[in-house]
A and B are shown apart, each in its own frame.
Chain A
Amino acid sequence: MSEPARLDVRIATDPAEAWLVQSQIVDWLKERQYPAPDQFGVRLSLEEGLMNAIKHGNRGDLSKSVRVFCEVSDARTYIEIHDQGIGFDPAAVPDPLAEENLEKASGRGLLLMRQFMSVVEFRDNGRLLVLEKQRSTE
């Protein structure tokens, strides 16, 4: 058993900063020898969640920031991504699996996060994304 690793940072509306946070978190999963599919799912979900916060939440506004909280223990990975945008209604996001949306170039991030993570929740009117991954048993 190793001590949980924690991160609580405010990053700029900048994919390069998001990339650093993502890499740090995935490194913690590697150190704790999470199964490869768990690492894959968490990395992908982080990418989707962080890019949603930067592009759709903060809309690229450099005066805004994104707060990221994360705790990685041996048993689970818990992540909060909080943007400063106007929020959104997750229920209003078009279904990317509907026939008419299958060839659209965007709109699949939420679907992928829901598939790969144990918990995906939106709070604060859609500005706060909560992701949780229970470590899989191999």
Chain B
Amino acid sequence: MAAAAGQRRLDIEEVGDVTVARFVDKKILDENNIQMIGNQLFGLVDQDKRKKIVLDFANVEYLSSAALGKLITMNNKVKTIGGKLRLCSIRPDIYEVFAITKLNKLFDIKDDQATALAGF
């Protein structure tokens, strides 16, 4: 469905028993976009019951505090069902946002997808 595809904000790939979700957007800033991303992320846990999830930020150039909020909620959802969430391929500008907010301590962040998939 073209309309549904237009709303898709994450590329989902299964690698073994791990779900890799890659952000489609370069900018995770505006409210509607963040809402859609949040809904798709939460669906991985709430509907699909996926327990091992890697979020790949390779495409992401900008992200706001509202997006951080969705990631925190996602992390809590994954923890609640006994799963694990890893973040990877975060460029230095964006990593600085995680560091400033101390969220680099809250999230399990790996340099790249291969490292994130290793030993999951």
Contact = CB atoms under 8 A, between A and B. Distances in A.
Interface of A: 15-16, 19, 36-37, 40, 43-44, 47-48, 51, 96-97, 102-109, 111-112, 115
B62 A40 contact: yes
A36 B91 CA distance: 13
Interface residues of B, number: 22
Nearest to B102: A97
A19 B30 contact: yes
B100 A115 contact: yes
Contacts of B70: 105
B68 interface: yes
Contacts, number: 57
Chain B: interface secondary structure? helix
Contact of B65 (A37, A97, A108): A108
Nearest to B94: A40
Contacts of A115: 100
Given A97-B101, A102-B102, A102-B106, A108 B68 contact: yes
A48 B30 contact: no
A116 B42 CA distance: 30
B31 interface: yes
A96 B30 contact: no
Given A15-B30, A108-B101, A115-B100, A47 B64 contact: yes
Contacts of A112: 65, 97, 100-101
Interface in B96-111: 97, 100-103, 105-106
A48 B68 CA distance: 12
B39 interface: no
